[in-house]
Amino acid sequence: MALSKAGERMARTGIFISHAHEDRDLAQSLAALLKAALELEAADITCTSDAEYGLERGADLRDQITTRLQSAKALFLLATPASHTRDWVQYECAIADAAHADGLQFYIVTPLGAHREIVPDPYVGRVSVTLSCAGDLHAFVKQLRKTFGVGTASSAYIDPMLELVDRAVPATVAHQRAALEKQAARGERRTKIAAAVAIACALFAAAGAWAMVWATGRERTYAAEIRQLNADHAKELEEKDKLRSEQLRQAELAADEAFKQFSFSGLFQDSRFKQVPCSKVEVFVPDAVTGGERQVLKPCDGRGTFIFSGPELQVDARIPIRLRAHLGRPQPFEFLVLRTAASLPFLFREGQ
């Protein structure tokens, strides 16, 4: 029971149709159906977009809506895509919801089957009536008539009901078409996005593949260059090593040759440093060809000295030679001489 301004409880009698202005045709048809079905007077119906069931001109809109809802027995929310976001609709529904315990019935009617998309969030769970479905609507009307205590067996509401169905069906079709177009547009957009992504991926993959091929090619080229450089370097080192080895061998041979050029001369003195005459001197040198010894004979000169040139001996001065001196004695005097370490003249005592 609602309270009057004096605080007395008022009997709820009218109905309130909450809707968006864009849906006024549908709202008027609904009002006509409810008027006929519930056998109401025009004054019992509030439908803000219809002059017949509308609000008083000049009065405060919010006060009128509040007053009408306080005296209404039922609120019919005409849920459409247009009403889904309307502030006034939200406001009216909030009042109706709050007054539900006070006897205000709250019905959701919709021309469409898509309940979730058009019913405001707080009322999504409520059962709605689809206006485009004649059977559903008829059952709802019969239920309403029972709720409102309409006992007469009248069929006067059939025509308004069919008219309401006729108006709801195009709205449904339009909504479904819009939904389909939206879905198609979404699908097209998805297709375009997918195509763009696919093209981008293909380009990226192609770029990646090209970069990989390029990098691999570069790497192979570098690897081949490095291998070639290594091979060239190794070959160069090998050549240098060979050259170094050959140069060292040549140096050794040159040293050998230099040591072979050493001339060898001497004289013989006794312990009193008096020169001892000699007739000849024999030198036995290692023979590189035969492996044995080669004899080189040289007579002493008139002063008792002897001299061998390097080419005469043809032996390395670092190799000792055997020397046999004939000094006018029965036995020749024989000894080893290492020319690089020899100290000339040789000293020997008489009788040695």
Partner 1 sequence: MKSIVVAIACLLTVSIAARVQAQSCDGRTEQRVDQENYLALNDRVYVYVPDINSLGSSGGWQSFTVRVLSGIYRKPLLLARAYMKENDLQSLLSTRRDIRQTPITVLGFDPRKGGRPAINASATVKDGERAGTITVRVTRVVPVSKGVDHLFVVCSTGK
Q: Interface mask (CB under 8 A) for partner 1, residues 257-296, using x and -?
A: -----------------------------x-x--x-----
**What is the closest distance, in whole angstroms, from the C-beta atom of residue 308 to partner 1 in the complex?**
18
Which residue's CB is nearer to partner 1, number 85 or number 245? Answer: 245
**Residue 233 makes contact with partner 1 by CB under 8 A:** no
Give the list of residues 6+ apart from residue 53 with CB closer than 8 angstroms, or none.
17, 31, 42, 45, 46, 47
**Residue 229 makes contact with partner 1 by CB under 8 A:** no
Which residue's CB is nearer to partner 1, number 199 or number 319? Answer: 319
Determine the size of the site formed for partner 1 (CB under 8 A): 21
Distance between CA atoms of 316 and 324, rounded to whole angstroms?
18
Q: Give strand pairing partners of 321.
A: 337
Tell me which stretch binds partner 1 (CB under 8 A): 127-135, 167-175, 220-228, 253-261.
Answer: 253-261
DSSP reduced 3-state for 234: helix
Distance between CA atoms of 67 and 290, rounded to whole angstroms?
148
**Residue 25 makes contact with partner 1 by CB under 8 A:** no
Which residue's CB is nearer to partner 1, number 102 or number 241? Answer: 241
Distance between CA atoms of 71 and 33, rounded to whole angstroms?
20
Cα 257 to chain centroid, rounded: 75
DSSP label of 185: H
Q: Which residue in the set 3, 213, 248, 347 belongs to the binding site for partner 1 (CB under 8 A)? A: 248
Give the list of residues 6+ apart from residue 54 with CB closer than 8 angstroms, or none.
46, 47, 48
Q: How far is CA 305 from CA 26, 55, 102, in A?
A: 155, 162, 160
Phi-psi sector, 146: left (phi>0), alpha (psi -120 to 50), beta: alpha
Q: Which residue type, as a one-letter code, is found at position 22?
A: E
**Residue 188 makes contact with partner 1 by CB under 8 A:** no
DSSP label of 330: S
Largest CA distance in the chain: 183
Phi-psi sector, 273: left (phi>0), alpha (psi -120 to 50), beta: left
Q: Which residue in the set 10, 61, 229, 253 belongs to the binding site for partner 1 (CB under 8 A)? A: 253
**Residue 242 makes contact with partner 1 by CB under 8 A:** yes
Q: Which residue in the set 63, 232, 241, 293 belongs to the binding site for partner 1 (CB under 8 A)? A: 241
Q: Which residue in the set 159, 225, 256, 293 belongs to the binding site for partner 1 (CB under 8 A)? A: 256
Q: How far is CA 288 from CA 176, 294, 312, 317, 337, in A?
A: 120, 9, 14, 14, 18
**Residue 23 makes contact with partner 1 by CB under 8 A:** no
Distance between CA atoms of 62 and 49, rounded to whole angstroms?
15
**Residue 235 makes contact with partner 1 by CB under 8 A:** no
Q: Which residue in the set 201, 251, 344, 347 belongs to the binding site for partner 1 (CB under 8 A)? A: 251
Binding to partner 1 in span 291-320, by CB under 8 A: 291, 316, 318-320
**Residue 321 makes contact with partner 1 by CB under 8 A:** no
Q: Which residue type, as a one-letter code, is found at position 273?
A: F
**What is the closest distance, in whole angstroms, from the C-beta atom of residue 305 to partner 1 in the complex?**
26
Which residue's CB is nearer to partner 1, number 224 or number 248? Answer: 248
Do the beta carbons of residue 347 and residue 271 sit within 8 Å? yes
Tell me which stretch binds partner 1 (CB under 8 A): 48-56, 57-65, 203-211, 242-250.
Answer: 242-250
**What is the closest distance, in whole angstroms, from the C-beta atom of residue 256 to partner 1 in the complex?**
7
Binding to partner 1 in span 208-227, by CB under 8 A: none
Q: Which residues bind partner 1 (CB under 8 A)?
A: 241-242, 244-246, 248-249, 251-253, 255-256, 286, 288, 291, 316, 318-320, 338, 340
